[in-house]
Amino acid sequence: MAALKDTVQAKLSCRNLSMEYRNARTGDRVQALGPVNFDIPDGQFVAIVGPSGCGKSTLLSIVAGLTGPTTGEVLVDGTRIVAPGPDRGVCFQDYALFPWMSVLQNVAFGLKARGMPRRERESLAQDFIERVQLQGFESRYPQELSGGMRQRCALARVLANDPQVLLMDEPMAALDAQTRQIMQDDLLKIWGAGGGGARKTVMYITHSIDEAVYLADRILVMSARPGLIKADITNDFERPRPSARTRPDYATRIDHIWSLIRNDAMQALVAREESK
C-alpha cells in the first residue's frame, strides 16, 4: 500500500478504522473491517472495490458518520468525524428519495432544512436539476421516473447542498447496462464541470472493476473479511475516457485488479452458500 500522506494535506483521512460486531445467531464476535488506513487528497476521485462482504459499505457508512467504528477515526480537513454532517453528501444504491415529494422538492430538501428562503432554494435546486438534465420533470414524483432519472435526482439533491466530500455506495448497481454507461459519463461531466479546482472529493463504492477503472483517479482494492486495503492503484488514463475501454492496457488493468480479488471473491461465494 502507498505510504500515508500527511493528514494536513488530505481532504479525507481514515486512521486505523476497524469494525467488529456480534453474530446474532452464534454470539461470536466478528471482525468485519480493518484496520484500514488511507488518505484522499482534495478533488480526487477514489473507487473502492473488493469481494462481497469485505466491508466496503461498512467503511462508507463510517466515513458518512452513520456508524461508529470499533477503533480508529475519520478526519475531514483534520477534524474528527463523529456524526453525519453537511460536509459529506451520500448517494445510495436505492436512491433514498422521498416518494411524497416532487423532483424539485427532493432536490431542495436539504436547502430547506438549512433555512434557505423558498425562492432562493428553488432557484438553486433548479440549477442542479438542469445540470443533471432533468429539466421538465420538476413536478414529477419518484415513482414516475426511470431508474436513471431517480439517480440523477438523488445526485442533484446531494450536490445542491455543496458537500466537500461525495460518498457514493453502488449508486448505479440497479441500472441497466446502457443507462449505467450514460450515467457514468454524466457523473464525470458534473464532477469535472468546473475544472480541477472545483471538483469534489469522491469516495465511490462499486462491485464493477470496469466502472472503477473508467471513473476513478485511484482504486483501492479490499481483501475479504476482515476488509483490508490490499492494493492502492493509481489510475492514470487520460480524461475523458470514452475511447479508453478499447485499449489493451485498459483491459490489462481490469485483469490485474480482478487477479487481486478473484480468490477472495470465490471464497466469499463459497461461504455464502455454506451459510444457507
Tens-place pLDDT, residues 129-158? 998 889 999 999 999 999 889 988 999 999
Same domain as 73, residue 132: no
Tell me, yes or no, whether 44 and 20 share the same domain.
yes
58 and 12: one domain? yes
Which of 138, 162, 186 finishes a domain? 162
Put the strands of the sheet holding 88-91 in their side by side order: 88-91, 165-169, 201-205, 45-49, 218-222, 229-234
Question: Per the domain annotation, does 136 fall within a domain?
Answer: yes
Give the chain's domain count.
2
Residues 134 and 233 placed together within one structural domain of the fold:
no
* Domain ranges, residue 205: 7-87+166-275
Strand, helix or coil at 140? coil
Output the CA torsion 253→186→192→156 (10° steps): -130
Instruction: List, in sequence order, every residue forming a beta bridge with 19; answer none if it has no partner.
Output: 33
* 75 and 177 both lie in a single domain: yes
Alpha-carbon distances, residue 184 vs 54, 66, 148, 197, 274 (angstroms): 24, 26, 11, 21, 36
pTM value is: 0.88
CA torsion through residues 101, 104, 110, 114, sign:
negative
CATH of the domain at 236: 3.40.50.300
What pLDDT does residue 7 have? 40
Average pLDDT, 10 consecutive residues per value, the chain (276 residues): 50 94 79 91 95 90 93 94 91 87 95 92 93 92 92 90 92 87 89 66 95 96 91 92 90 95 79 60
Q: Does 108 map to a domain?
A: yes
Are residues 146 and 214 located together in one domain of the fold? no
On whether both 265 and 172 belong to a single domain, the answer is yes
Selection from 103, 190, 121 nearest residue 161 by Cα: 121
182 and 143 both lie in a single domain: no
Is position 1 within any domain?
A: no
d(CA 154, CA 187): 12
Domain boundary among 134, 162, 190: 162
Q: Are 182 and 252 within one domain? A: yes
The answer on 231 and 133 residing in a single domain is no
Is 180 among the domain residues?
yes
Do 102 and 65 share a structural domain?
no
Single out the residue in 116, 131, 162 at which a domain terminates: 162
pLDDT of residue 197: 52
64, 18: one domain: yes
